[in-house]
Structure 1
Amino acid sequence: MTEPHRALVFVVDDDPEVVRLVTRTLGEFDFATQAFRDGASVLRRLMTERPDLCIVDLGLPDMDGIELVREIARRCDCGMLILTGRGYTADRVMGLEGGGDDYVVKPFEPRELVARVRSILRRRGGGASVAGALQRRYARFGDWTLDCAANTLRGQDDGEQVLGTAEAQVLRTFLERPNQILTREQLMGTRDLSPMDRSIDVRISRLRRRLESDPHNPRMIKTVYGAGYMFCAVVSWS
């Protein structure tokens, strides 16, 4: 059975504290996230990947956020949530008319933000999610390609490995959120993992044996002591 599609949210904000709060909160509710510090970087990513929804700050360092909202709306049929410190009515109207589906002013309540994200995705009828799922079947990283629909891993030597469902789930979570610290709970897809549960460590060990040239000194799946794990690689999707 193919793994259910997790809605992908792009978070565009140059405030690292806001980015951490938003991505952590969305991750707890099973959203996949990618963070961008400026408009140029998210526009480059849109050339290869389509999110289900974008959360955009209006005060970006390289371009006006309202212009970015319009450009994203022109390139991509995705939901749009404007998250900003600007509370002026004129900014709200321009943002919504430019392609925004909703407008949240900082500071904000994280649970309310999740509710608004879900509301936008419901109103859009799930069409973007279906398109995203079709476009996100193959993940390429390093010398590897993962076929998420078939749970198969192929290396440069064209040898194909079939992953177990549990291993594939963890690897897919890593690939959707590269270069981010993920907790054991996030990787297992549960909020109440027992401290004595070592199943995630077993899955990490198996993935390292498949992916790392030296599993005892991993370069790709790194342990962040006291926090979780980080997948260190550039990932592209098709």
Structure 2
Amino acid sequence: MSTSPHRSGDLEGRRILVVDDDPTVAEVAGTYLSAAGFVVDRAADGGEALRRLAALAPDLVVLDVMLPDIDGIETCRRIRAAGDTAVLMLTARTSQDDRIIGLEAGADDYLTKPFSPRELVLRVQSVLRRTTLAAPIDAPIVCGGYRVDPAARIATYEGSELNLTAREFDLLEYLARRPGQAFDRARLLQAVWGWSIGDLSTVTVHVRRLREKIEPDPTEPRHLVTVWGVGYRFDPTGSPPSEVRPE
């Protein structure tokens, strides 16, 4: 069986910024990503990463958590504040809390060290397909006060644009297409992230972040509600407060 990185024609030429202060990790990651058809740049710390982000406009940043100068979590927050560049975090920490912190900072995915370089390539390809490839041209979804435009990748609530990351938009679009239906976290992980296996807390974190942007009061959600014992449901008209409690 071949062990060479899989090249994907729809993604070749995409620019990846690898940020890691370990030259061996950066070299291995860069070699495999280059072999898969990506244009790879490197940075050794958070400050250099932010400068290269502004200068190069990469499609995705592979970002180590433990960095000198500005750590990976703060770097991720600044990347997210600057735009919607996809971020895949690398972490040597294995606790769920550490992964959740990365997701809350705005990461689209994470990979735990030590990692398989082939898995890194596959994760990068998966994130890029989800976040940067052109979406099919679909009619806008209008439900309640929400309008979700898949072609323009713009969502509004009562006429005001919602400042969503690519993954938050995907989650809202999926739910808005199916108002009133309850989905468990495994189903959402498969449908929105494309993962058949993964950390279900990824969904929990993104639901929390999405609520902060689409709910008038995120502490008492009326639209993206928890269905206890099942998962989540999108109610564009607003559920009675007695029905819902934030998770």
The correspondence for 1:96, drawn from 86, 100, 103, is: 103
Q: Give the equivalent residue in structure 2 for 1:123.
A: 130
Shift in Å at residue 66 of structure 1? 0.6
- Cα distance in structure 2, aligned partners of 1:99 and 1:56: 12
- Cα distance in structure 2, aligned partners of 1:105 and 1:49: 26
User: TM-score, normalization: structure 2?
Assistant: 0.48
Do 1:56 and 1:65's aligned partners in 2 also have CA atoms closer than 8 Å?
yes
* Structure 1 alignment gaps of length 5 or more: 128-238
Alpha-carbon displacement from aligned partner over 1:112-147 (angstroms, at most 9, x marks no partner): 1111000001111425xxxxxxxxxxxxxxxxxxxx
Q: Give the equivalent residue in structure 1 for 2:193.
A: none
The correspondence for 1:47, drawn from 47, 54, 58, is: 54
- Cα distance in structure 2, aligned partners of 1:60 and 1:9: 18
| Structure with bigger RCO (C-alpha 8 Å, 6+ apart) | 1
Letter in 2 for 1:19: A
**Is the partner of 1:107 in helix, strand or coil?**
coil
- Cα distance in structure 1, aligned partners of 2:19 and 2:83: 15
Shift in Å at residue 47 of structure 1? 2.4
Q: How do 1:113-152 residues align onto structure 2 when only pairs under 5 Å count? A: 113-126=120-133
**Is the partner of 2:21 in helix, strand or coil?**
coil
Do 1:50 and 1:76's aligned partners in 2 also have CA atoms closer than 8 Å?
no
- Cα distance in structure 2, aligned partners of 1:46 and 1:100: 15
Q: Is 1:37 aligned with 2:37?
A: no
Range 42-51 or range 77-86, more displaced = 42-51
Letter in 2 for 1:60: L
Q: Is 1:62 aligned with 2:73?
A: no
Shift in Å at residue 103 of structure 1? 0.8
Q: Give the equivalent residue in structure 1 for 2:17.
A: 10
Letter in 1 for 2:88: L
- Cα distance in structure 1, aligned partners of 2:50 and 2:102: 18
Q: Give the equivalent residue in structure 1 for 2:118.
A: 111
**Is the partner of 2:62 in helix, strand or coil?**
strand
**Is the partner of 2:65 in helix, strand or coil?**
coil
**Is the partner of 1:11 in helix, strand or coil?**
strand
- Cα distance in structure 2, aligned partners of 1:50 and 1:30: 17
Q: Give the equivalent residue in structure 2 for 1:87.
A: 94
- Cα distance in structure 1, aligned partners of 2:30 and 2:83: 21
- Cα distance in structure 2, aligned partners of 1:19 and 1:81: 14
- Cα distance in structure 2, aligned partners of 1:49 and 1:34: 9
User: TM-score, normalization: structure 1?
Assistant: 0.50
- Cα distance in structure 2, aligned partners of 1:7 and 1:54: 11
Letter in 2 for 1:57: D
Give the aligned length.
Answer: 125
Shift in Å at residue 23 of structure 1? 0.2
Do 1:9 and 1:32's aligned partners in 2 also have CA atoms closer than 8 Å?
yes
- Cα distance in structure 2, aligned partners of 1:5 and 1:108: 22
Runs of 4+ in 1 over 6 A off after TM superposition: none
Shift in Å at residue 63 of structure 1? 1.7
**Is the partner of 1:126 in helix, strand or coil?**
coil
Letter in 2 for 1:97: E
